[in-house]
Amino acid sequence: MDESFFLIKKAEGAEDLPLPMRQTKYSAGMDLHANVRGDVLIKKGERRLIPAGVHTALPAGYEIQIRPRSGLALNYGIGMVNAPATVDADYRGELKVLLINHGEEDFIVKRGDRIAQMVICKVVTADFVEIRELPVSERGESGFGSTGI
């Protein structure tokens, strides 16, 4: 399969919604649109699973990462609980976005709103080899904050 073309199908009831698309020539992400029948209220602190109106089929070695939209985060405090979300190549269900309202006010998702963006990424599928000791490294086991601010 040509690596610049992937398979996508509109979900039932999403025929009027646009397919995911880049907003500029060099955008990495393609916007996903809310496939909701009526307005969906997300109260402060609440999370909602919002369908995105498309099904995909990617070849092995690829994934879709679903990420929050920066404008929704900045202007309304809307993010994703599991950001970035991973959609595996063999998943065929409708893509869905788990939004959370971190904002000061309730937020309404309307049909067709751009709710998130998806990025297609290559994935390395590696096998692990179990050993008793890992090779020594300069960093060792130093983690969280060990390299400074």
Within a domain: 149: no
Cβ atoms 113, 48 nearer than 8 A: no
Is 113 contained in some domain?
yes
Q: What is the pLDDT of residues 37-56, one digit of tens each?
A: 999 999 999 999 999 999 99
The one-character DSSP state at 133 is: S
Provide the whole-model pTM. 0.88
Q: pLDDT tens digit string along 107-144?
A: 999 999 999 999 999 999 899 999 999 999 988 888 88
Residues of the domain holding 114: 7-122
In a domain, 147, yes or no: no
Quote the CA–CA distance of 107 and 41 in Å, as a whole number.
6
Cα–Cα distance for residue pair 112/142, rounded to 1 Å: 46
Rounded to whole angstroms, the Cα distance separating 53 from 36 reads 9
Does 32 fall in a domain?
yes
Domain CATH number, residue 35: 2.70.40.10
Does 102 fall in a domain? yes
Structural domain count, the chain: 1
Residue 1 within any structural domain of the chain: no
In a domain, 12, yes or no: yes
